[in-house]
Amino acid sequence: MLTRKQHELLVFIDRHLKTSGFSPSFEEMKEALQLKSKSGVHRLISALEERGFLRRRRHRARALEVLRLPAETAQRSSLALRAEGRGEAGGFQPNVIRGDFTGRLPGVRAAGEAGAVQIPLYGRIAAGLPIEALRDSGTQVEVPLAMLSSGEHYALEVAGDSMVEAGILDGDTAVIRKAETAENGQIVVALVDEAEVTLKRLRRRGQSIALEPANPRYEVRLLPAERVKVQGRLVALLRRY
């Protein structure tokens, strides 16, 4: 028998893994469960490990694996998936992009019938210290349709380790939806002083903008708002093993 908080955390991790492909950060888990500190998250995860519901993969950033769900939760998930497959009223309706994508998503061309499209790869972006982004529109990367929404998308290769606690590792391919605005807490491609480009979490602080890393070895950059321009929001990650 799990406590309410243990059950809530397990379900949250399971949903995050299924929707994003990687486990949530301790900060995200703390906020989702409305806990006062990350130590509470550590205790819940340890308890779920001891009960055989969760496993931590050592030496990997944010590597959590859900081994099983409580019987009643697993049954509800199974019923919801079957209802979704039948398209029943009241069931979950996925937001899936369908049809001919040629010309629908600017900068995107269809990639056969494999349920994927190709988007331009614009070089490397620093997840550590900012670097000037390389723009090579001749290179393409294939992305599953489920990772994309409406709008224009492009990809950047991540360089550096400042976002490891957000599950973003050196060598990952970041899928970016072009945008000029972002909400507090979103991970964005930020253009600094019209020259430097970096991938960081954005926070507004009065008339300033904080570009926050997800690695305690790096410092937050606090800049006047006029020096920072949002060029896109992170929507997905691709990783090769």
Torsion angle defined by CA atoms of residues 9, 15, 16 and 17, in that order, rounded to the nearest 10 degrees: 110
- Known catalytic residue: 200? yes
Is 162 an annotated catalytic residue? Answer: yes
Per annotation, catalytic residue among 36, 39, 200, 229: 200
Q: Which of 23, 25, 30, 162 is catalytic?
A: 162
Catalytic residues: 162, 200
